[in-house]
Amino acid sequence: MEKLPAPDLPGWIAKEVPFTRYCVDVGDGLRMHVMETGRGRPVLMVHGNPTWGFLYRKVAMCLQGQGLRLIMPDLIGFGLSDKPRDFAAHTIRNHSKWLGSLIDQLDLHEVTLVCQDWGGAIGVHPFTTRQDRLGAMVVLNTVLDAPPPGFKPTPFHRFSHMPVVSDFVFRVLPLPQAALHLAQGDKSSITGNVARAYRYPFRRMADRVAPLATARMAVDRAGHPSIPALDEGAAFVRSFDGPKAMVWGRRDPVIARALKRTKALLGDPPVTETQAGHFLQEEVPEEIAAAVLDVSVRLGRASTQAAKKQA
């Protein structure tokens, strides 16, 4: 695998992410930007909409020196990764293909997947065809399955499907990346240069396709094209018997209500409930890091036991 040079970052962002940075060709002529730090068993931390790997910087700092290789990719269309301008490019299957290419090229095994928002469904799906590569899961505020009958989409997702007006709001104003603090338990957790860092990848209007296209990937009706891929991911999650943990922000106005549903899908794993909002990596990084260490210890114990049985 050839690691390609990463785009430059302004100094005020670069000092917040003192990690190794590079890009990988993940197919379709697209390059994915990746940050990583540390050595050891891999921890793949997948963000959602409209953030980038910057979201996990505090968690990564908490886990420094713990014998883990912390990998923070930017999904295609986000962060410093390439940004297709075709709305149709943004499907769960396409994002799964691109992320799966990264997993294969980095040759990751016994992966601990940490996922939040769309990083849940997108992060899980590559492992439906790489089941032997996933070792453990730490699930943050996300939804991993298709909604049940009668489910009502959130106001945010209903708005994203409105023609014309949603295009204007997402691509001209631009939302939601200009208002991330509104989804937080502590509104001051995303202000100043932190807020600027989330806006930075979308400073050009032509690059603002992904936030709206990804919002429209959310199921808002029967027969939505995301449902088959969501069903595949959910079936895999139900069958996955590796170590699992959850950290949940109860003050998330978007996904907080999905706690019971997601916990049941995962088979009732340990849950750390917090008063954080949607982007809980900014508010409770220590709690997330603790969950990662917990599943890592359990994964190591299970691997040792398996090795003894084979000996």
Write the pLDDT tens digit of every residue in 204-257: 999 999 999 999 999 988 899 999 999 999 999 999 999 999 999 999 999 999
Q: Using the 8-state DSSP alphabet, how is residue 251 labeled?
A: T
Burial 236-269 (b: 16+ CB within 10 A, else e): bbeebebbbbbbbbebbbbbbebbeebbebbeeb
Structural contact between residues 166 and 213, judged by C-beta atoms closer than 8 angstroms? no
Burial 29-56 (b: 16+ CB within 10 A, else e): ebbbbbbbbbeebbbbbbbbbbbbbbbb
What pLDDT is attached to residue 142?
Answer: 98
Tokens of residue 186, six digits: 């502590």
pLDDT in tens, 75-98: 999 999 999 999 999 999 999 999
CA distance 260 to 166: 30
What pLDDT is attached to residue 175?
Answer: 83
What pLDDT is attached to residue 154?
Answer: 79
What is the greatest pairwise CA distance in the chain?
63
CATH of the domain spanning 11-304: 3.40.50.1820
What pLDDT is attached to residue 311?
Answer: 67
pLDDT in tens, 148-194: 887 888 788 888 888 888 888 898 888 899 999 999 999 999 999 99
Instruction: Give the SS3 label for residue 180.
Output: helix
What pLDDT is attached to residue 62?
Answer: 98
User: Which amino acid, one-letter code, is at 275?
Assistant: Q
Q: What is the CA radius of gyration of the chain?
A: 18
Q: Find the angle CA(100)-CA(147)-CA(93) to the nearest 5 degrees.
A: 20
What pLDDT is attached to residue 243?
Answer: 98
What pLDDT is attached to residue 252?
Answer: 97
Structural contact between residues 236 and 128, judged by C-beta atoms closer than 8 angstroms? yes
What pLDDT is attached to residue 67?
Answer: 97
Cis bond before residue 174 (omega within 30° of 0): yes
What pLDDT is attached to residue 126?
Answer: 98
Nearest to 59 by CA among 301, 292, 229: 292
Tokens of residue 170, six digits: 């997402």
User: Which amino acid, one-letter code, is at 212?
Assistant: L
Structural contact between residues 42 and 110, judged by C-beta atoms closer than 8 angstroms? yes
What pLDDT is attached to residue 222?
Answer: 87
What pLDDT is attached to residue 269?
Answer: 98
pLDDT in tens, 279-311: 999 999 999 999 999 999 999 998 888 777 776
| Partner residues linked to 273 by β-bridges | 248
What pLDDT is attached to residue 191?
Answer: 98
Tokens of residue 133, six digits: 């590569």
pLDDT in tens, 4-38: 999 999 999 999 999 999 999 999 999 999 999 99
CA distance 56 to 287: 13
pLDDT in tens, 62-79: 999 999 999 999 999 999
Give 156: exposed, middle or buried? Use CB within 10 Å, 0-12, 13-18, 19+.
middle
How is the chain split into domains, by residue range? 11-304
Average pLDDT over residues 119-126: 98
Nearest to 181 by CA among 194, 193, 171, 190: 190
Tokens of residue 269, six digits: 């794993």
Tokens of residue 188, six digits: 């001051």
Q: Could you tell me where the beta strands, DSSP code E, fall in the chain? A: 20-25, 31-37, 41-46, 68-73, 111-115, 134-139, 244-249, 271-274
Q: What DSSP string describes 192-248? A: HHHHHHHHGGG-SGGG-HHHHHHHTTS--STT-TTHHHHHHHHHHHHH--S-EEEEE
